[in-house]
Chains A and B, each alone.
Chain A
């Protein structure tokens, strides 16, 4: 039986960061708890914070389960994470600029050329292009797990369009509305500077040809997208337009929005659609979401696209294993955050080990996301393991494997009261003129007892994440 690190209790003792929650938890009558939970759900529904799931039947506006028990970090713990995340983000951007430029890391033999240049996410269309300030990835979501008091691991980096930041902000809003006394009794760092920081970041990467105050917009695939709420929420907080492909057109070297007063020039696009859909002339010709000619305008400095097309090559699960190497290569520093030890099935030795230890390992598809297409060895049946074995043997390059980590738990409200459940953490790092992140992030929690899968598409929930002030 694995011992899991409990973030609140060390034996019977309450760990310091959670001391402000112990009394609250014990004194809350169960009727009040049920009432508050219902109130929270009603608030989420009323505000419309939903996760739209179309075409699967059932409620098209599903709520992501919200757990009222916050997850807490001390200032010292946070500072350490913050430094590590910023370092990693700098290295990832240096890597992107390099592989679309001279490719020095490949020439130095630190990363196999095949992994970079034959990667599906590598965009030949931007080779040699230097975006404003040399930044390819402007919003980096780093997924972290904790296994001990001082032990954090990076699970993956999201360099394209990491989602979930609206939950970080709304969870806080709702907690403050429901339990104001907790915020009076505990000194909790605010997260509501995020939207201003995002706006600043986007404005700071305006293209060369932009004159005056840059016009920023968020590009969404539309209201049928599951993250549409988040797109509109961020546009609203920043006071910028939320646009869809058909709202835009390219002409005369610029990108324009169709408005009631005629065309309006757009300088910075925070896109929440994939590369493949950005420009039907450059990528998928069948895409109705994109804007014909956008890539030409982008490459000639008429518009900035955030994150830059091609940024995905840095958050691939196969590239992930090399991020500590990037930190050493580009920054000349030792990585502050550790990777999870990872076996690459593309390597014969690794693959052999993985196939021999399938019942102990977590195996993931290199390009998979959302908790799909993975095997959690210790939780799987013999049959599932055998099925997966065939998949790996058929296409070893498509898989990596990691040990089953003993993810930390935090107290969580469940049917019977309070019980430990596994959590992870996604802070959001912004990269523009400055690199900054607000003190907090999205904590995802596996609501099923014993489950290690926290994805919302797999029944995970979310909770407020606190960083205590000094």
Chain B
């Protein structure tokens, strides 16, 4: 497969996963806004969401104070924001259009329909939309795409590159979301373990649509260390760092086997395996000891390096 084709497929999945993360963030924001000022006296949660999405600077340049309506526009509809839902959907669809020959009709149809629909949505007055509806729409598009990929695509390199894109973007996004919780939402270290702390963990679980799953997995009581375990180390949790890493490793293995090279000899695999081994042996207590923020920063760096190796090995066309 052309390296450029592989790269485009990789980014189709990354953009759709990113769109979904943006939508999830927005939904959490909308939820907080409905709760009577739980976090009064502290920094606005809305602002934290901008931090979490990595778009705070762009927003403040354009709008100044974080006002809910503006944040909604910025995160969902604004083309000046490269991470907005509309930017991500349009870029996913454009990337897919470039590699029409490498995806199935149904996968194209899903992306193209999402693109047509978001343009319709954009044309209607904003007041006609509830933010929850919009977010559900994004989650549905994302699910439709995964379903179309799963149901119709050949199990070849194209499929593996798309799934690799999904896995790496998800690992990165989840890590950033957790980091924001820890670094931005919580004003001081004394607050750790307080009621506010627990409430914010809950918000995070909701952002990842894992609130109920958590309860099924751990029983009723919410504690910071259980939630950390769930979001970082629990292989049953679909958005945990360990799940995303395992998925990346799995598809790197698939690529090796598809290209009939000796298993485990590729640089990206070796890196992914090392990361996986580390996560397998890690305890929550060790993460707390290292410092959650430090741990996450290191993890995000690892994922970045893994992505760079994938780029070098497969997507640049330079490797022999």
Contact = CB atoms under 8 A, between A and B. Distances in A.
> Is chain B found bound to chain A in the same assembly?
yes
Interface of A: 45-46, 48, 222-223, 228, 232-233, 235-236, 241-244, 246-247, 257-263
Given A48-B108, A223-B94, A260 B1 contact: yes
B4 A258 contact: yes
Interface string B226-255: 000000000000000000000000000001
A87 B317 CA distance: 44
A260 B116 contact: no
A236 B100 contact: yes
B259 A244 contact: no
Contact of B113 (A46, A246, A257, A258): A46
B97 A48 contact: yes
B3 interface: yes
Interface in B133-165: 157, 161
Given A260-B315, A261-B259, A243 B2 contact: yes
Given A46-B109, A247-B317, A259 B2 contact: yes
B320 interface: yes
Contacts of B161: 260
B118 interface: no
Contact of B116 (A45, A223, A232, A263): A45
21 contacts: A46-B109, A46-B113, A48-B112, A223-B94, A223-B97, A228-B97, A235-B101, A236-B100, A241-B2, A241-B5, A244-B4, A247-B317, A258-B3, A258-B316, A258-B317, A258-B318, A259-B317, A260-B1, A260-B3, A260-B161, A260-B315
B71 interface: no
A260 B157 contact: yes
Query: Interface SS of chain B: helix, strand, loop or mixed?
Result: helix
Contact of B3 (A48, A235, A247): A247
A318 to B, nearest CB: 38
A232 B99 CA distance: 8
Nearest 6 interchain pairs by C-beta: A258-B317, A236-B101, A260-B314, A232-B100, A262-B320, A223-B98
Interface in B78-108: 94, 97-98, 100-101, 108
A230 to B, nearest CB: 11
B101 A260 contact: no
Contacts of A243: 2
Interface string B282-320: 000000000000000000000000000000001111111
B6 interface: yes
B100 A260 contact: no
A262 B318 CA distance: 7
Given A223-B94, A241-B2, A262 B100 contact: no
Interface in B1-28: 1-6
A244 B8 CA distance: 13
Nearest to A223: B98
How big is the B interface, by class? 20 to 34
B97 A260 contact: no
Contacts of B319: 262
Contacts of A262: 319-320
Contacts of A236: 100-101
Contacts of A258: 2-4, 316-318
A136 B273 CA distance: 54
Contacts of B109: 46
A257 to B, nearest CB: 6
A246 B101 contact: no
Contact of A48 (B100, B315, B318): B100
Contacts of A259: 1-3, 317
A238 to B, nearest CB: 10
Max chain A CB contacts within 10 Å: which of B3, B112, B255? B3
A247 B2 contact: yes
A260 B5 CA distance: 9
Contacts of A257: 2
Among the interface residues A244, A259, A261, which one has the most CB atoms of the partner chain B within 10 A? A261
Given A48-B112, A260-B315, A262-B319, A242 B101 contact: yes
B317 A232 contact: no
A386 B137 CA distance: 59
Contacts of B318: 258
Contacts of A228: 97
B7 to A, nearest CB: 9
A233 B259 CA distance: 27
Residue among A46, A48, A235, A241 facing the most chain B CB atoms (10 A cut-off):
A48
A75 B57 CA distance: 69
Contacts of A241: 2, 5, 101
Nearest to B313: A260
Contact of A263 (B4, B101, B113, B320): B320
A166 to B, nearest CB: 12
Given A223-B98, A236-B100, A260 B259 contact: yes
A422 to B, nearest CB: 33
